Structure 1
Amino acid sequence: MSLPKSEDAARAGTYRLGVYEVARMGYGAMQLRRCAGNLARAVAVLERAVDLGVDHIDTAQIYGNGFVNEAIGKVLRSRDGIIVASKVGADPSPNEKMPLKPAQRPEQLRASVEDNLRSLGLDQIPVVNLRRLDAGPGLKPEGVQVVDLDDQMAVMIALWDEGKIGAIGLSAIDLNGLKRALPAGIACVQNAYSLVSRQFEDMLALCLEHKIAWVPFFPLGGAFPGWPKLTDQPKVIEIAERLKITPAQLGLTWLLAHAPNMLLIPGTADRQHLEENVAAASIQLAQEALAELDALDLSPAPGDIK
């Protein structure tokens, strides 16, 4: 069953994700793990996102240990035209301070793709991102989890050949790794990037050159040590108040204006925040405001990145 969509998410235009054209404002599903035990609530948030024109949903099997994928699968059975991107490279570790652990070995990557297929109810995942762990913040591989990129790409390409994934993306990758992987035909790159953490400008430029989508996680900053939150920055708050939008909307709008290959996946489990995020696709900043934001220097110093 296909339902009419609002055009809200599409007002910022579209960009290619693999072989698909998607609205530049998508939805990151990680926060739906907060709905664990209430599948109907998670489904309602997803359906509202689709009603607002969102056609690109980012997920992972580790979100809620399959709960989030279950909710997405339920929506996929009733709505058409939704492109799902998942990721592999980490497994749950619920009893640890960091609730994730590296799962970088080729056999673990394959197993994670199979788990995603089952929980989503798909025969093929349109895009699967290899979470490489070369760039922070967060997990660092050690011991047997230090795996050569070529070995990982070999299994990802095999899964593509088998029709289990439609395109390969990269996450937490460094510039050298991206350059090595380019011949495989990379659909997107997911690294931490925002108005307050612009340390990957060179990679963003390389992606634009090769028509690769840039899909930043932590688009509003992050909670890791040394990574400032955009919504805590006095200057950002001041500009947002002057423009009568929220600081989050200001950060999302700046990203959309900053590069045409930018695809956003802000996440929330709250319908009001979802609607505010999607509304950012309709906001156009004046050149003066963009120049003022471009001139801000809020990125963490390299030594502060954990």
Structure 2
Amino acid sequence: MKAIAFDEFGGPEVLRLRELPEPLLGPENSLIQVRAAGVNPVDFKIRLGYLQGTMPHHLPLIPGWDVAGVVTAVFPNVTEFAPGDEVFGYIRKDSVEHGAYAEQVAAPQRAIVRKPAGLDWVTAGALPLVGLTALQALRAAGVGDGDTVVVHAAAGGVGHVAVQLARELGAKRVIGTASERNHDYLRELGAEPVTYGDGLVQRVAALVGGDGKVDAAIDLIGGQALTDSPQLVRDPARHSSIVGGEVLAQGGRYVFAQADKEQLTFLGELAASGRLRVDVQQTFPLAEAAAAHRLLEEGHVRGKLVLVVD
């Protein structure tokens, strides 16, 4: 099969289209003919070697944790899926080696669900990681009815989904941090935009009035946003971060997305119904994965990038 893989850690140039053996099916797995694979910041961090201390890596390594495609075979103990089923999912495993940047991938039963008929392939490939991360970060911060929530990096892949899911969970106001060029975009999504950087705490206080505090904050970028979050919320326990364990020392919650079939099904239904907008800035053919990584690393992508596999 054709796949994008690398034999050494480094820049986008290490990503090469090559011919590799078809993946082993394995117990509890379904073999998927890939139609679309989401590109996420964690993919280039893996390529750079940043996650080597977190989980085992095996070379040659095929990146990609988001997948949408058609089941072509199942292991005998798989009863939930059958050849021909259209599925999507978040296929992170305990080690990093066989990802979704390929014509085929073996996916655990626990990691995939059926794709709703109204969900196109590109959206299905874009949704899993950002959707699960956003939902789990919001729930970790206890976001619910009547809340005012700050979402840091609100125009990005996870952020633009988190803005909308906060509303689905009952938030009354969603304040999104972004550069000024993305403020109109955030308004379209239902957020009140505020410029990130120095003075953010004061700008948010002026926006919300009263005691100047919000109910919850979701950090999706780290750095100053993580430093600011405890100052934004009334209760330090109601801020979460996806960037690193430092949030725990602040009394908040750290989130690293986990596969969850119920949540994936919920997200897919929301997107298929039009209640959740998953914006894809650009698609790339599989062979141009390096170009997608270069664009993503520039840090200005609005929404998601997706590889399309013919």
Which band: TM-score by shorter chain? under 0.3
The structure that is helix-richer by fraction is: 1
In terms of fraction of residues, the more strand-rich structure is 2
TM-score of the pair, normalised by structure 2:
0.27
Larger Cα Rg: Structure 1 or Structure 2? 2
